[in-house]
Structure 1
């Protein structure tokens, strides 16, 4: 059975490859500036620009970030709690084989180990992996749902992917013919 990873469709791109943010800065300073603005909407977020990833020996923005589950599960969790979302948020549905030439790791991103945006990632939270053994998740972690509930009740801005493992890929990913899915439909 074919396995996939998912990445939010960029609003603007150059070419037909996803490239890490730091590499984008070298070829398109304008797009780099546009995509790094999100890191300045919270006092701790700018520290992500320099955050190091153990085992990959690079920074947070030297890798591509993917989620290992269909985004419908995120949409369903948010809307079931009455949290307003964009209805038509689109994601690239990328066959895992597209990462063959990259160095890949899973950031486990567990509630128990996560200490905040500015804090270091613990080494045991990063697991190098072989794409041949990769399996998509079939449900959203309960810690993510609890986070949505608590932050919504507090009236806080909600991150979309808390405590969902992130697949981190050091390299580029060809996307010219991948399927685009909307998170409000499961297919």
Structure 2
């Protein structure tokens, strides 16, 4: 007969990772917990993380700063997202790939390891499924990125399937860095698009 008490005692201790929130308070999270990540903007103001379009009037300086990453490809911000029926700059963009995996891939591709990156770590359940969608990357349809076939419904409990670092992204990093250019960090990585806002007050921040 199996002693249930003995089984309980032999359970492996839960593995935690220590991160801090925006107030600098340590937060413990399970290492095996799949999260969503959003880069911490420079000169962030307030405690609400809002889509790019919402910053234009409220924080014009931050808006202009964020728009710089679209220089030469401004048309992307005006692409209409199916299902959510809004523009690309009307949503928050998250990924499920751990930032450590992103940085490791960048270093392997030749990027300076001293470049630091910080991210908000978000519980997938904070994202309302009815206002979110997953943008598949690579596409099912390469000719029309905004084709509905390139999107799937968002389910918080299924986010782990999008947490792997794509080989296509690693190859892209390598090719771009070899040409002396700066790579787009989330090229070919599935995006979780959320038409809403997030209170960042108690969100953990991880730096890599």
Cα displacement (A) at 1:87: 2.9
Contact 2:82 2:147 in 1 (8 A): yes
SS in 2 for 1:73: helix
Matched positions, count: 177
- What RMSD in Å do the two structures reach over aligned CA positions? 2.2
8 Å Cα contact 2:91-2:193 kept in structure 1: yes
Alignment of 1:4-83 (within 5 A): 4-40=35-71, 42=72, 45-83=73-111
Distance 1:3 1:39, change over 3 A: same
State which structure, 1 or 2, has the greater radius of gyration over its C-alpha atoms. Answer: 2
Deviates more, 1:84-93 or 1:7-16: 84-93
1:149 and 2:198 aligned? no
Higher relative contact order (CA 8 A, sep 6+): 1
TM-score by structure 2 length?
0.76
Is the 8 Å Cα contact of residues 107 and 113 (structure 2) preserved in structure 1? yes
Change (3 A) 1:53 1:86: farther
137 and 124 in structure 1: CA distance in 2 versus 1, 3 angstrom threshold: closer
**CA shift for structure 1 position 152:** 2.4
Deviation at 1:15, TM superposition (A): 1.7
Matches of 1:3 and 1:131 in 2, distance apart? Answer: 10
